[in-house]
Structure 1
Amino acid sequence: MDLLKADLFDKLRPLLSAEASAEAAGTGVDAADLEQAVWVRLLEDHRTPADPAGWLRRAVRSEARRARRRARREVPYDGPAAGSGSGSPAGTGSGGGTGAEPEDALLHGEEHRALRSAVARLPGRCPELMRALLSPRDLTYREIAGELGISQGSLGPVRSRCLGCLRRMLAVEVAAPALRGMER
């Protein structure tokens, strides 16, 4: 088996290099990092792909999407930690700003839970379609259509109906601002 994988590595190396270079230009990731991620994925998979070239192209695109998502989520470190003798007391000054982060995380978590709850209550095939669209795997329309067993052409209209239904559900659930004072 190791000899078979070694032979596969030699055959796929030029294709992987070309695919990774092409995808790296749009992701802001080094092509060598994409190559390494694909090699690791191949080694972790204990089966030899039936269509190695097709598998390799899909794996490179998938790793590139993953790198783009990771880059969007990464937050640069702003500098020295509070209390490191920077001259201003902790929590004051222009560079602090860390006070609102836990609250923001909590609010975003509640929003995500509310959205997942609303998606689960959608009628028909909408819940599985919305879960596929919101998936962290960042599936293409072709992949979603294949997973759901529907034509790629009908995916757009079904998505529009599901989003309209979700919008109506969430509009009803979002409370109107309460009246204040002596208003009736």
Structure 2
Amino acid sequence: MDLVKELGPLLSAEAAAEAPAAGVEPADLEQAVWVRLLECGPARPVEPARWLRRAVRAEARRARRRTRREVPYGHRPDLVGGAQPEGPGFEQRLLDREQHRALRSAVARLPGRCPQLMGALLSPRDLTYREIAGELGISQGSLGPIRSRCLGCLRRMLAAEVAAPGLRGRER
């Protein structure tokens, strides 16, 4: 039980940091991580603090996926009088796919290490800067400036391909 005392404050801090982005309460995240620790059995993690941080991030990702997929019963239009389900129509899905294709194509045309960096940043594995730097063989401190340059290049490339946004209420 000394593990609970040792990791409790760290878990509270990590859960409080991750919970808003995951759309859950910090206490729910904490509880899920404690359950995960109990499922490990009597074996104590080799690096408890690192294990705990990874477990919190994994539970936060799981919560984000769950909130995207779960639909409350009261919001099912197909259950009420045979109404058509709401959501994007065929045309909108086609346009979305075309936008994703254009983005993937533009990322692939970026210069230097930008395609690998953007791929790592957009990875579903939810990598930290330290992990990305290790995978790409780049110092962690240079990731931010490189990312900024890559996004600038991407912005310039896509400006020619994507229509500029409207004036958003400003008069001409």
> What TM-score, normalized to structure 2?
0.66
CA shift, 1:13, in A, is 5.8
Q: What number of residue pairs does the alignment pair up?
A: 153
2:170 aligns to what?
none
Shift of 1:56: 1.3
TM alignment of 1:132-171, pairs within 5 A: 132-171=120-159
Q: Which amino acid aligns with 1:111?
A: Q
- Give the structure with the higher percent helix: 2
Deviation, structure 1 residue 163: 0.8
Distance 2:6 2:97 in 1: 41
The 8 Å contact of residues 38 and 63 in structure 1, kept in 2 or not, is answered as no
Indicate yes or no: 2:75 matched with 1:82: no
Instruction: Note the 1:27-46 alignment, pairs <5 A.
Output: 27=19, 28-29=24-25, 30=28, 31-37=30-36
Q: Identical aligned pairs, as a percentage? A: 54
Question: Computing the radius of gyration over CA atoms, which structure comes out larger, 1 or 2?
Answer: 1
Q: Cα 1:15–1:130, aligned 2, differ >3 Å: closer, same or farther?
A: same
Q: Structure 1 residue 90: deviation in Å? A: 2.4
Q: Aligned in 2, Cα 1:21/1:71: closer, same or farther, shift over 3 Å?
A: farther
2:57 aligned partner: 62
Aligned CA-pair RMSD: 3.4
What SS is found at the alignment partner of 2:75?
Answer: coil
Q: Give the distance between the partners of 1:38 and 1:120, measured in 2 at CA.
A: 40
Q: Matches of residues 94-133 of structure 1 in structure 2 within 5 Å?
A: 98=86, 100-101=88-89, 103-133=91-121
Paired residues of 1:24 and 1:34 also in contact (CA < 8 A) = no
TM-score by length of 1: 0.63
Task: Please identify runs of 4+ aligned residues in structure 1 that moved more than 6 A.
Answer: none
Q: How far apart in 2 are the matches of 1:128 and 1:22?
A: 32
Name whichever of 63-72 and 24-33 sits farther off: 63-72
Counterparts of 1:38 and 1:128 in 2: how far apart (Å)?
34
Structure 2: distance between partners of 1:137 and 1:173: 29
